[in-house]
């Protein structure tokens, strides 16, 4: 029997394209993991598939990277399925592990896929470092502008409470505390405003 496996990394990605392709290629049942990254070890859909297949079955995937977390993980899965007498077919990669050439190509493609992910990771890191050198903000955009953060500090110094400022800017009080904490970095410990003082 032919069983399909489909996976998308985020819940907003469309899994239907994979599902339709696998069904069109003869999959009688399709196991899915939606919104689960390939790097996550626990994948319920894949686990259910591994429990279902038996000797003579075929696991059909859209691409090999939908199946394995890394080259090593992909090869481990291939070996596990091979020990059960199950082969893997990839529609986009044109690979069928039922023959010796398919197994060899699987190992090579898995390694290439891992190299590609590492290259992307390095590019992202290099881009972030270059951004930091240019003084660009990293991560999520601050909830309050620089002018608003200065207003928070000035307002507290003039006696306004954290609760009032949270209402003014429509943010959680924790955001106001973070702004104040950032503002007093570098000030001697004894001069720092305590949470109790800020709420007074």
Share of the chain above pLDDT 70, in %: 82
- Count other C-beta atoms under 10 Å from residue 189's C-beta: 6
Q: The tokens of 116 are what?
A: 């590609």
Model confidence over 136-176: pLDDT tens digits?
766 667 788 888 988 888 888 888 888 889 889 999 888 88
153 close to 179: Cβ distance less than 8 angstroms: yes
In this structure, what is the dihedral angle of CA atoms 117, 121, 124, 130, given to the nearest 10 degrees? -140
Q: The tokens of 172 are what?
A: 């959680």
Nearest to 66 by CA among 29, 39, 85: 39
Chain mean pLDDT for the chain: 81
Name the β-bridge partners of 95: 90
Radius of gyration of the chain (CA): 26
CATH architecture of 2-118: 3-Layer(aba) Sandwich (3.40)
Q: Which of 15-24, 38-47, 90-99, 166-175 has the lowest mean pLDDT?
A: 38-47
d(CA 102, CA 60): 14
98 is a catalytic site residue: no
Whole-number pLDDT of residue 38: 55
In this structure, what is the dihedral angle of CA atoms 82, 55, 37, 63, given to the nearest 10 degrees? 80
pLDDT over threshold 60, residue 18:
yes
Which positions ≥6 away from 68 have C-beta within 8 Å? 38, 74, 75, 76, 77, 110, 113
Question: Which position among 9, 34, 98, 155 bears the catalytic label?
Answer: 9
Model confidence over 94-140: pLDDT tens digits?
888 887 777 777 677 667 767 777 888 888 888 888 877 887 766 66
Work out the angle between the directed axes of helices 162-169 and 173-183 (0-180°, nearest 10).
Answer: 110
d(CA 77, CA 73): 6
**CATH code 3.40.50.1390 region(s) in the chain:** 2-118
Q: What is the mean pLDDT of residues 11-38?
A: 86
Name the β-bridge partners of 30: 4
Q: Which of 7-16, 80-89, 169-178 has the lowest mean pLDDT?
A: 7-16
């Amino acid at each position: 029997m032919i069983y399909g496996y489909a996976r998308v990394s985020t819940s907003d990605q469309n899994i239907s394209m994979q599902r339709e392709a696998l069904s069109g290629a003869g999959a009688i049942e399709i196991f899915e993991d939606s919104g689960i990254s390939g790097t996550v070890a626990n994948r319920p859909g894949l686990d259910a598939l591994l429990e279902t297949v038996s000797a003579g079955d075929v696991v059909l995937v859209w691409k090999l990277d939908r199946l394995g977390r890394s080259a090593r993980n992909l090869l481990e899965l291939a070996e596990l399925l091979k020990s059960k007498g199950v082969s893997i077919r990839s529609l986009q990669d044109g690979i069928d592990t039922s023959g010796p050439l398919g197994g060899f190509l699987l190992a090579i493609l898995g390694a290439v896929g891992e190299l590609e992910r590492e290259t992307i990771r390095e590019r992202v890191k290099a881009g972030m470092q270059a951004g930091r050198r240019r003084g660009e903000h990293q991560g999520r955009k601050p909830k309050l502008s620089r002018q608003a953060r200065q207003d928070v500090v000035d307002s507290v110094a003039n006696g306004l409470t954290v609760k009032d400022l949270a209402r003014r800017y429509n943010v959680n009080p924790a955001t106001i505390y973070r702004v104040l904490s950032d503002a007093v970095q570098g000030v001697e410990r004894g001069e720092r405003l305590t949470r109790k003082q800020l709420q007074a």
